[in-house]
């Protein structure tokens, strides 16, 4: 079983607040723009570009780090069910991985938090990001078992469910964050499971 990071394990609220502060807009404005691009099926980074047209998000993230403005991932950013569910999955004998579109810096911080995961990887470390099929090809090489033995859990239908399914993985869509809530009903027939929280997963997996 492999988990996405943002809005699956980690609540991105503080990160969006940090971007809002750095760009000089209110959190309300930033949230509204994220909602707008989500409804249009666009990349969430487009919300930042609506505030600052032409923004290079990678360079902007580096500038935030250099200026000491980047937020460190902390324990309270984890959703409340994360630690208990990962621990239960490991207790059930399942291999647990974490892999998402994140920087190497976030990957290092996740490892420091000592989550109950066998392995942690990020798109920056792999050199390929979702929804590129290369990301899921790398994931299949990285995680044990055949592709249909692996369940990928994420909140974003276009980045998580569709490409993971195309790669032969099973999928679980969690209704968290704007993407998970907005598109969940449309993907009930595509994802193997649609869940309201991670606590539903151990029962579903052991009964399937």
Report pLDDT digits (tens) over 132-174. Answer: 999 999 999 999 999 999 999 999 888 999 999 999 999 999 9
Torsion angles phi and psi, residue 114, rounded to 5:
55, 55
* Packed helices 27-39 and 13-23: angle between N→C axes, nearest 10 degrees: 110
Q: Cα torsion for 14, 17, 18, 23, to the nearest 10°?
A: 170
What CA–CA distance (Å, rounded) separates 142 from 95?
11
- In CATH, the number for domain 2-10+74-207 is 3.40.50.1000
The overall average pLDDT reported for the chain is 91
Please report, rounded to a whole number, the percentage of residues in the chain having pLDDT higher than 70. Answer: 98
pLDDT category of residue 208 using cuts at 50, 70 and 90: low
Work out the average pLDDT over 10-19: 91
Euclidean distance between CA atoms 182 and 139, whole angstroms: 26
Which residues, other chains included, contact 124 with Cβ-Cβ below 8 Å and sequence gap of 6+? 102, 103, 104, 107
Convert the pLDDT of each residue in 172-181 to its tens digit.
999 998 777 7
Q: What is the pLDDT of residues 60-92, one digit of tens each?
A: 888 887 777 777 899 999 999 999 999 999 999
pLDDT at 187 over 80: no
Residues in the chain: 208
Strands 151-154 and 170-174: parallel
Share above pLDDT 90 across residues of the chain, in percent, rounded to a whole number: 70
Instruction: Choose the weakest-confidence range: 41-50, 62-71, 199-208.
Output: 62-71
The answer for 68, left when phi > 0, alpha when psi is -120 to 50, beta otherwise, is: left
What average pLDDT does the segment 44-54 reach?
Answer: 93
**Helix, strand, or coil here: 197?**
coil
Helix, strand and coil percent figures for the chain, each rounded to 5: 55, 10, 35
Sign of the dihedral through C-alpha 204, 100, 42, 176: positive
Residue ranges covered by each domain of the chain = 2-10+74-207, 13-66
Alpha carbons 128 and 162: distance in angstroms, whole number: 17
- The predicted pLDDT at position 91 comes to 95
pTM over 0.75: yes
Half-sphere exposure of 194 (CA within 13 A, CB side): 17
pLDDT at position 132 = 95
């Amino acid at each position: 079983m492999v988990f996405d990071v943002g809005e699956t394990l980690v609540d991105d609220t503080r990160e969006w607040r940090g971007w809002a502060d750095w760009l000089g807009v209110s959190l309300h404005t930033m949230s509204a723009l994220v909602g707008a691009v989500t409804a249009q099926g666009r990349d969430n980074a487009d919300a930042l570009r609506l505030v600052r047209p032409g923004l290079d998000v990678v360079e902007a993230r580096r500038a935030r780090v250099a200026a000491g403005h980047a937020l460190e991932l902390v324990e309270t950013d984890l959703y409340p069910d994360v630690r208990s569910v990962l621990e239960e999955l490991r207790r059930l004998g399942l291999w647990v991985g974490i892999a998402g579109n994140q920087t190497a810096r976030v990957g290092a911080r996740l490892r420091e938090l000592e989550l109950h995961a066998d392995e942690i990887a990020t798109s920056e470390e792999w050199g390929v990001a979702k929804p590129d099929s290369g990301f899921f090809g790398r994931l299949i090489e990285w995680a044990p078992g055949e592709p249909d033995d692996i369940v990928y859990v994420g909140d974003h239908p276009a980045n998580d469910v569709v490409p993971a399914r195309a790669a032969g993985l099973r999928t679980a869509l969690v209704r968290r964050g704007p993407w998970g809530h907005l598109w969940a009903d449309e993907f009930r027939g595509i994802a193997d499971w649609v869940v309201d929280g991670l606590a539903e997963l151990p029962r579903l997996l052991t009964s399937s």
